[in-house]
Amino acid sequence: MKKDRVGFIGLGNMGGRMTRRLVDAGIEVVGYDADPARAAAAGARAAGSVREVVEAADVVMLSLPDSKVVEAVVEGEGGVLSACRKGQVVADLSTAAASSTIRLAGRFAERGAAYVDAGISGGAAAAEKGTLTLMVGGDAQAVESIGWAFAPFSSKVVVMGASGAGHTTKLLNNFLNAVSLAATAEVMVAGKKAGLDLHRLLDVLNSSSGVNFATINRFPRIVDGDYLEGGLTGRLMTKDLLLYVDCARELGVASLNASGPLASFGLATALGYGDQISNRVVDAIGDVSGGIRLHDNQAGEKQ
């Protein structure tokens, strides 16, 4: 057993990139994914099962689509929980419901293992650069003990509190991300129809009260036909929004602003953009606004 070996379960869009960062940092990674080819692509040693991953490493990381999948991988036959041991730390990097996370953490604690929730932000580009932000919930000592495993793919790690705090913070962040992306997409389509120069419009927005992450980091490239492919899909964005609404309901908070982005990304999925990057929401809004595109780059059209 090596203390500098990481087990990684879920080697998709984000998990594969984080695994590659670990491998490039000289850390041995034993990986498992439903698609066996992904382990080799990320530079990990492929495991034949979840149990094999858990038995091979003291630190196990999960990067899975949602709580339903996390629960199946953790609690299912041959899952993480059945194979974990005292002193082991499992870090869930998925976007998941805090209520599920808290329940799972209790089950791991009964076995003497630690389960920490580590929401991530920054997207595929930040994962590749090693500049992700991690918002973490769980035992502070457990989090500190695996700082070396977070370091290759993150530049900021903030312990938000007890179990579930990390995943709650992630849902709050993703909600604001969805609002700003959907709202900015609508504004940019309106600007195009009004005949405005979109680069000048962005320059004004980024110097004014309408500035947000999408105006700074996304649309300066989208208006030229670069959709920054490889990030969160529209379908996954909708999933995150629904998780946020559930979180707000559980907290007793009125969710008055979720309907807009839910409608926008729902429209995008209905029009065939659901499995493409969520930035394509601007094309969905453009489609129902007279066939508007922000750019003249035909490569940016829906495939």
- Choice among 170, 192, 193, 302 that is catalytic: 170
How many C-beta atoms surround the C-beta of residue 2 within 10 A? 10
Looking only at the bridges linking them, the beta strands covering 132-137 and 114-121 are antiparallel
How many C-beta atoms surround the C-beta of residue 65 within 10 A? 15
Q: Are 244 and 258 in contact (CB under 8 A)?
A: yes
Give the separation between CA 218 and CA 101, rounded to whole angstroms. 31
Which residues, 6 or more positions from 113, have their beta carbon under 8 angstroms from its beta carbon?
A: 84, 85, 86, 87, 88, 89, 90
How many C-beta atoms surround the C-beta of residue 237 within 10 A? 27
3 is catalytic: no
Maximum distance among all Cα pairs of the chain, rounded to whole angstroms? 64
Return the axis-axis angle of helices 67-75 and 98-110, rounded to nearest 10°.
10
Looking only at the bridges linking them, the beta strands covering 154-161 and 45-46 are unpaired
Looking only at the bridges linking them, the beta strands covering 5-9 and 59-62 are parallel
Return the axis-axis angle of helices 165-193 and 98-110, rounded to nearest 10°.
160
- 242-251 contacts, C-beta under 8 A, 24 or more apart: 243/66, 243/67, 243/95, 243/96, 243/97, 243/171, 244/171, 244/172, 244/174, 244/175, 246/97, 247/97, 247/98, 247/168, 247/171, 247/172, 250/98, 250/99
Catalytic residues: 170
